[in-house]
């Protein structure tokens, strides 16, 4: 029986300890810092304080949650700003503008079929559900579909999933590298509207104190944000494990706390818009070997 158990254990899926070593988090190639690419200009999601240089927001809390499960303290996590078009390559920039390769990308990165086919992208299971919407100034007529914006100048993030629906609706789309530039242009009437994920725009609407209005445009497609670990498959499995523990363990409220802290306060200023689902998306347990005496979470919840 002992021999049989040893054979099963040795030939089954890797243990968490083995995955940590394969992902170069422990062992000979262990590092003492975890580099994470995040947005820096999105209130409520990921924003960098220009004075202190610290980051805050929902994505930041999710990144800290994952990092803790990977064995990193908060002071070992290094956040670097990343642009939309650099998320697949995992190339962020430091304070001097130099490109730096990051271990993880937690930056409103929607999972799509084309992106999954990209060999350089390794998505985790989704950690947030949202949808595309539209924001205008408060003097703009109500918007219920993208086609109503035909002939108007609409700003969105370049290389984002929002560009395609806008183009199909015949909307003149102007891409920007940062969503904050879109809202600056909206405020000074350079643009007529902004369109991207509702969770990205909700913070700008809340801060506008009524100057901006958020519109639901009834698109069926769900935007599913995932973590990009690139080609580091063991690291992706460990990220999946962190998200699974958050989802399946009733004592782990890190995801709910992040939502309540950063997204829920935005809802009152964005009525009638499904800013983001208030429940963590379902996570299946990843295939990881466990000893019989190790605590397991019994329900997959899906």
Q: What pLDDT shows up at residue 294? A: 61
Instruction: Please give the share of the chain, as a percent, with pLDDT higher than 70.
Output: 92
Residue 145 has pLDDT above 70, yes or no: yes
Listing DSSP states for 59-108 in one string gives HHHHHHHHHHHTT--GGGEEEEE--GGGTTTTEEE-TTS-EEE-SEE-SS
The pTM of the full predicted model, rounded to 2 decimals, is 0.93
The two tokens of residue 207 are 């801060």
- Mean pLDDT for 172-185 is 95
Read off the pLDDT of residues 5-53 as tens digits, 9 standing for 90 and up. 444 445 679 999 999 999 999 998 888 999 999 999 999 999 999 999 9
C-alpha span between 86 and 93 (Å, rounded): 10
The two tokens of residue 138 are 């408060």
Residue 235 has pLDDT above 60, yes or no: yes
Q: What pLDDT shows up at residue 195? A: 96
- Mean pLDDT for 192-215 is 98
Residue 273 has pLDDT above 70, yes or no: yes
Which of 1-15, 104-118, 146-160 has the lowest average pLDDT? Answer: 1-15
pLDDT band at 98 (very low <50, low <70, confident <90, very high): very high
The two tokens of residue 194 are 């902004």
pLDDT band at 165 (very low <50, low <70, confident <90, very high): confident
pLDDT band at 1 (very low <50, low <70, confident <90, very high): very low
């Amino acid at each position: 029986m002992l021999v049989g158990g040893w054979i099963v254990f040795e030939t089954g899926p890797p243990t968490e300890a083995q995955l940590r070593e394969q992902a170069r988090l422990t062992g000979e190639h262990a590092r003492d810092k975890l580099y994470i690419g995040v947005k820096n200009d999105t209130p409520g999601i990921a924003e960098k304080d220009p004075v202190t240089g610290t980051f805050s927001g929902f994505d930041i809390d999710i990144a800290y949650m994952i990092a803790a499960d990977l064995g990193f303290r908060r002071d070992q996590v290094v956040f670097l700003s990343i642009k939309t078009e650099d998320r697949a390559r995992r190339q962020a920039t430091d304070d001097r503008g130099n490109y730096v390769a990051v271990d993880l990308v937690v930056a409103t990165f929607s999972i799509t079929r084309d992106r999954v086919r990209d060999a350089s992208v390794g998505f985790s299971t989704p950690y947030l559900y949202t949808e595309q919407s539209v924001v205008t100034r408060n003097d703009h007529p109500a918007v219920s579909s993208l086609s109503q914006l035909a002939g108007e100048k609409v700003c969105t993030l370049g290389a984002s999933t929002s560009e395609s629906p806008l183009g199909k609706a015949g909307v003149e789309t102007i891409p920007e590298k940062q969503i904050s530039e879109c809202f600056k242009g909206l405020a000074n009437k350079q643009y007529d509207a902004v369109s991207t994920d509702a969770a990205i725009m909700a913070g700008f609407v809340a801060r506008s104190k009524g100057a901006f209005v958020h519109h639901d445009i009834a698109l069926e497609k769900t935007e599913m944000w995932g973590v990009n670990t690139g080609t580091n498959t063991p690291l992706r499995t460990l990220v999946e494990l962190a998200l699974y523990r958050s989802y399946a363990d009733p004592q782990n409220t890190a995801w709910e706390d992040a939502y309540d802290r950063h997204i829920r306060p935005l809802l009152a200023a964005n009525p009638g818009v499904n800013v983001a689902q208030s429940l963590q998306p379902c996570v299946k347990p990843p295939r990881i070997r466990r000893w019989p005496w190790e605590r397991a979470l019994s329900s997959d919840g899906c």
